[in-house]
Amino acid sequence: MFSKLILNTVFLFSVLTAFAQSDNGQKTHLKLIKVNNKIYVLQGNGGNIGLSFGNDGVFMIDDKFAEDIEQIQEEIKKVSDKPVRFLVNTHFHGDHTGGNAAMAKTGAIIFSQENVRTRLQGITRRETKKIPEEALPLVTFSEDLTFHFNGEKIYVFHVHNAHTDGDSMVYFTDSNVLHTGDVFFNGKYPFIDIENGGSLKGSIEGLEKVLLLINEDTKIIPGHGNVGTYKDVQKSVDMLAFVYKRVYANYINKKTEDEVAKMTDITNEYDADGYGTGFIGTEAFLRMIYKSVALDRKSIENNAEKNKQAREKVEKMIIDQKQDDRN
């Protein structure tokens, strides 16, 4: 299905929805898992929800699909009666923002990187499947912001052009727990939304930023998959860098996308570890990487062409100048 990555956003939404649902069968069953004494992850259809409970109330990261929001709210109430005061969207995809309107109605204030709001607004304008105005984040930021909540600093920071162009991660500095959004799929090939500003290079850089921030004791809530550790992120970065290098070399050697899609020797080692059993299978992953490499190469080639034009312009100016001097 990903062989033609001419995905418009609606199509992408339905694809993600379909994947998410086939992931768990037809009925949503949510699983609330304790990460430490105040932080929980809520798994089930759609992206992982992160939750912090404490005296100040509930702090929430992402809200899955609209149709599951009542069940999600019930799960939250099992731990605390306090209201959800702040909600951070890690990016705009429907399996992370679907519950926004319902959460806003309960008084939660929604935060996101500014591109998330822009993307959601774009959908509101374009599509028949309207996203209500109240689902849009009320507060946006460009690089980062810090919450002082439930006894710790919660650092929200943007990673550039990774899974999308609006990704944020959320780090609970005292708990030493990080929610990565979809920049990290634990133990699976990630989906990179190239159509909406994502890139492989940005994904690798984003995960490298994570490795600088965390340590061996950090608990990591991925966008999808189980809670992981430093080692899991390290493995993902190594995998992405390795596959990128191999696909890049093949691109330079004029191999086509179809040819590269069949080169499963590139991914052998990771396929054996089950990386191809998530949303993105091996072939789709290789095609996605190929597209990302092609985009990178094009911008390099474009720059080289622009540099050449600038040089020619200067050369012409010098010749003209000499001509003028002679006259």
Q: Minimal distance in Å, beta carbon 291 to Zn ion?
A: 17
Residues in the chain: 327
155-179: buried (b, 16+ CB within 10 Å) or exposed (e) per residue?
bbbbbbbbbbbbbbbbbbeebbbbb
Can you read off the two tokens belonging to residue 18?
A: 């379909």
CA distances from 290 to 42, 173, 220 (A): 34, 37, 28
Q: Minimal distance in Å, beta carbon 195 to Zn ion?
A: 12
Give how many residues touch Zn ion by CB under 5 A.
2
Q: Minimal distance in Å, beta carbon 93 to Zn ion?
A: 4
By the rule CB under 5 A, 182 interacts with Zn ion: yes
Point out which span in 181-189, 195-203, 257-265, 315-323 binds Zn ion (CB under 5 A). Answer: 181-189
Q: Minimal distance in Å, beta carbon 223 to Zn ion?
A: 6
By the rule CB under 5 A, 219 interacts with Zn ion: no
Q: Which residue intervals of the chain are DSSP H helices?
A: 9-24, 69-79, 94-97, 100-105, 114-126, 200-213, 230-252, 257-261, 268-272, 282-326
Point out which span in 87-95, 143-151, 154-162, 168-176 binds Zn ion (CB under 5 A). Answer: 87-95
Nearer CB in complex with Zn ion: 75/182? 182
Q: How far is CA 245 from the centre of its chain?
A: 21
Q: Minimal distance in Å, beta carbon 198 to Zn ion?
A: 9
Nearer CB in complex with Zn ion: 246/287? 287
Nearer CB in complex with Zn ion: 110/260? 110
The site map against Zn ion for 24-63 (x = CB under 5 A) is: ----------------------------------------
Point out which span in 177-185, 244-252, 263-271, 319-327 binds Zn ion (CB under 5 A). Answer: 177-185
CA distances from 305 to 251, 293, 300 (A): 19, 18, 9
Point out which span in 18-26, 165-173, 179-187, 248-256 binds Zn ion (CB under 5 A). Answer: 179-187
Nearer CB in complex with Zn ion: 64/93? 93
Judge contact between 200 and 186, C-beta under 8 A: no
Nearer CB in complex with Zn ion: 165/182? 182
- C-alpha 80/C-alpha 39 separation (Å) is 12
Q: Which of 57, 76, 84, 93 binds Zn ion (CB under 5 A)?
A: 93
Point out which span in 90-98, 273-281, 293-301, 313-321 binds Zn ion (CB under 5 A). Answer: 90-98
Q: Give the closest residue to 217 by CA, choosing from 15, 34, 13, 35.
A: 35
Nearer CB in complex with Zn ion: 41/266? 41
Q: Minimal distance in Å, beta carbon 180 to Zn ion?
A: 11
Q: Minimal distance in Å, beta carbon 163 to Zn ion?
A: 6
Q: Minimal distance in Å, beta carbon 246 to Zn ion?
A: 25
197 Cβ contact partners less than 8 Å away, ≥ 6 residues apart: 115, 161, 164, 165, 166
- C-alpha 318/C-alpha 321 separation (Å) is 5
Q: Which residue intervals of 87-183 are DSSP H helices?
A: 94-97, 100-105, 114-126
Three-state DSSP class for 93? coil
Binding site for Zn ion (CB under 5 A): 93, 182
